[in-house]
Amino acid sequence: MRRPLCMACLLFVLLVRLLLVFVGKPADEYEAEEGSELVLYGKADAKELKTGRIVFHLSEVSKEAGGEPVSELKLMCYPGEEQELPLTGSRIKVRGKLWMYKEATNPGQFDTRAYYLYKNIGAGISVTDWEYTDEGFSVYREGIWKLRLILGRIYDHILPAGDAAVMKAVALGDKSELDADLKELYRVNGIAHILAISGLHISILGMGLYKGLRKLTLPITPAAVAAVFVMVNYALLVGAGTSTVRAVTMFIIMCAADAERRSYDLPTALAVSAASTVFFNPYELMLSAFWMSYMAVFGIAVYFPQLFRGMEKQEGLRRKLFGSLGGGAAVSLFTMPLIVYNYFEVPLYSVFLNLLVIPLMSVLMVSGILSLMIGMISLKAGMVCALPAHYVLMCYDALCTKIAKLPYHSIITGEQGSLRLVLAYILLVTVVLMNRRFIRRYLKGSVIDKKTGELSDRAMIPGRLFISLLAVLITLIGFKQPFIMTFLDVGQGDGICIDTAEGTVMTDGGSTSEEELYKYTLLPFLKHQGIAEIDSWYLTHPDEDHISGLEDMLRDDMCNIRIRRIILPDAAGAAEDFGDLIRLAENRGCEIAYAHTGSELKLGELKIVNLHPAAGYSCEDVNEYSQIMLMEYGSLSVMLTGDATVDSEAAVLKEMKEGGNAGRLGQTDILKAGHHGSHTSSSEEWISALSPEVTVISCGRNNRYGHPHAEVVERLEAAGSSIYRTDRGGAVIMTADPACWKLHSFK
């Protein structure tokens, strides 16, 4: 068997990943004490920069000095702005409030709690104060940390603020000062990889140092040891992320092979690096960063040569162009299933953009590192050396900004599932195996070169391309369910999505408890569902907890989700109350419509009928003119109420009776409780008229209003209605066809 070590390492990684399916997330012993004020003892294990502040890890956590650790998981400690930081490796006593990272409660939402658990961190603690319990600390690790801060300050002096933040990320692994809009700009254009410490850094630094030492006639072994020592310390300096550990491990293997006069086999080095990472922390396999890092290298080093096997005889400029264009396309093809699986979209122009970005990365790195080294001696000379880096970053920004404005700059695919991911990579691995030896052994020489009459690798290229494109199609082509209705967990607010085979309707989308609701909840959800266009977006009334997410969405110039129409209540003063939102919508080319009692919207089997407010309805409280809508899909009926008050409900009941439509308010399958379960809504008459089988209450966890109010819950339970709460179970998801429906909570 060829490459036995490589195959053994790959088998080990795959077996561990399968075991993790059954093992699940690490047990979190801290969860029971969430919100408690605690006094804990442990070791200040490491420091890192996060969102403009320095935090530190606390390991070997116990409840008394020298006691048994309460958990194998670390704590992330967040000291106050004025507090000093403990020395790395010191033993300390910490006082503070324990809190848990936010877990995903909606489809498509990033699970921050799971991410930190996989990184061996159980919870966060807001540090009130701390003190040393002994005088020991790690001089070496503290020195590495201080060096990182010093180097960061040099960038602050020699580059503009924005460029300095990028170079700190690119060269020092510090992303804490990166502008959020810039990160998103790079991500949506498919070049966020330039912000990660990667193999390019190791090639420039490690190989440059190693070859430089060899040219100075230093023997191979001392040169290799010196280069490895520097790169291991560089990895510690930049935070030892997944891609950094991979690159340094492969560099160590390469130096060892050279020192032993053995050939360096890149696939084997890649597999050994992956296996060693998994050995020390198996849960790295649950993180997308691990797979993206290794798959990208596999794509360029293994998949690309095999895809175009038989075309190795290119020479000169033609060879370079072929390597650049073909390599970029091959990596994009090979990583596309992973990108879709994790981000639910594909940057359409990223292949072409990377053809410019990747070659310029060498200029950026050389300029950035050289300016840093010279800046330690002379800041003015460092500024001069940093000029190429500055112009490269200007070029990146200009390219990304222009491409982000092009139509269809990314394709929203929606969730494709694990099975499709596995099938896609089975096909891509098949491409890697398609060579003459494989064909002779398994296909009896069925691929023959027409000119020579012999088996030919070149003749197999069309077949390899066909299989690769088939893998892409499996990844991109999705199938929508006939009907999915999601009551999103937006904290203290409302947000509902009705997604059908014929189109999508949204109702509200705001929160007063969740910051950046659009960025972290609405947008990921819509991409997860594969929604690129919203036919109609109903806004029940203009309170922030119902419109804030949509307003942010309309402000985002890079958002590629189209909203055709926004439907507002046809009440007196509504146009003025929604004034700011209307201006944002008109700037984005959205149609503004108004709905009143009797207005209807039909979308295939879906019908939405407005029951309130009446045209020109006048009131002082905006909650009172909140839209009330009856949604029908086949035999399913859902009453949507926004923040409608008991007066609004009474107006609907009166209108139905006087208009002879009282039958329309018969037994309702699902009621969305008005005003988050407040006693200002859901009157006894209303519940009695609807007799809902299920009631959904959208409210924030431990909200300051006490929603839902006890009397409303008791009223609903007395009516025999099952209650689903977003604050407890996360998003409430309903699937249906015209004959039946099913409902469950996300958690």
pLDDT of residue 276: 94
> Where, residue-wise, is CATH 2.40.50.140 in the chain?
34-136
As given in the structure block, the two tokens for residue 318 are 């033609």
Q: Write out pLDDT tens, residues 697-708.
A: 999 998 999 999
- Distance, CA of 478 to CA of 481 (rounded, Å): 10
Average pLDDT over residues 443-457: 54
For the ranges 293-307, 401-415, 487-501, the one whose mean pLDDT is highest: 487-501
Phi then psi dihedrals of residue 243, to 5 deg:
-65, -35
pLDDT of residue 445: 45
pLDDT of residue 403: 87
Half-sphere exposure of 457 (CA within 13 A, CB side): 17
Average pLDDT over residues 40-67: 88
Average pLDDT over residues 622-638: 93
> Where, residue-wise, is CATH 3.60.15.10 in the chain?
483-745
Percent above pLDDT 70 for the chain? 93
272 pLDDT above the threshold of 90: yes
As given in the structure block, the two tokens for residue 438 are 């494989």
712 pLDDT above the threshold of 70: yes
The CATH number of the structural domain formed by 34-136 is 2.40.50.140
For residue 435, what pLDDT band results from cuts at 50, 70 and 90? low
231 pLDDT above the threshold of 60: yes
Compute CA distances 645 → 20, 641, 677, 684, 712, whole Å: 49, 9, 11, 12, 13
273 pLDDT above the threshold of 50: yes
pLDDT of residue 50: 81
Residue-averaged pLDDT of the chain: 88
- Distance, CA of 336 to CA of 338 (rounded, Å): 5
The letter for the amino acid at 189 is N
Average pLDDT over residues 312-331: 66
As given in the structure block, the two tokens for residue 534 are 């919203």
Q: Write out pLDDT tens, residues 200-212.
A: 777 778 888 888 8
Tell me the β-bridge partners of 636: 633
**Largest separation between any pair of C-alpha atoms in the chain:** 100
For residues 29 and 70, the answer to whether their CB atoms sit within 8 Å is yes
731 pLDDT above the threshold of 90: yes
- Distance, CA of 66 to CA of 85 (rounded, Å): 21
For residue 315, what pLDDT band results from cuts at 50, 70 and 90? low
- Distance, CA of 56 to CA of 87 (rounded, Å): 10
pLDDT of residue 448: 53
Average pLDDT over residues 652-666: 69
- Distance, CA of 14 to CA of 684 (rounded, Å): 58
pLDDT of residue 103: 93
Neighbours of 555 (CB within 10 A): 12
SS3 667: coil
- Distance, CA of 33 to CA of 61 (rounded, Å): 14
What's the distance, Cα to Cα, between the start and end of the chain in Å? 46
320 pLDDT above the threshold of 80: no
Closest CA to 456 of 431, 434, 427: 434
What per-residue string of b and e applies to 618-648 under the rule 16 or more CB within 10 Å gives b? ebeebbbbbbbbbbbbbebbbbbbbbbbbeb
- Distance, CA of 120 to CA of 69 (rounded, Å): 14
As given in the structure block, the two tokens for residue 311 are 């075309």
For residues 634 and 490, the answer to whether their CB atoms sit within 8 Å is no
SS3 610: strand
The answer for residues whose C-beta is within 8 angstroms of residue 245's C-beta and 6 or more apart is 235, 273, 277
Neighbours of 292 (CB within 10 A): 19
pLDDT of residue 720: 93
Handedness of CA 375, 381, 385, 387 (dihedral sign): positive
**Secondary structure letter of residue 104 according to DSSP:** P
Q: In this predicted structure, which of 34-38, 93-97, 492-496, 623-627 has the lowest mean pLDDT?
A: 34-38
pLDDT of residue 647: 93
The answer for residues whose C-beta is within 8 angstroms of residue 144's C-beta and 6 or more apart is 233, 236, 237
pLDDT of residue 646: 94
- At the topology level of CATH, where does 483-745 sit? Metallo-beta-lactamase; Chain A (3.60.15)
Phi then psi dihedrals of residue 247, to 5 deg:
-65, -40
- Distance, CA of 633 to CA of 631 (rounded, Å): 7
pTM of structure: 0.89
Q: Write out pLDDT tens, residues 579-617.
A: 999 999 999 999 999 999 999 999 988 999 999 999 999
For residue 136, what pLDDT band results from cuts at 50, 70 and 90? confident
For residue 98, what pLDDT band results from cuts at 50, 70 and 90? very high
Residue appearing with tokens 């503070």: 96
442 pLDDT above the threshold of 70: no
- Distance, CA of 593 to CA of 194 (rounded, Å): 44
Q: Write out pLDDT tens, residues 123-133.
A: 999 999 999 99
pLDDT of residue 180: 81
For residue 498, what pLDDT band results from cuts at 50, 70 and 90? very high
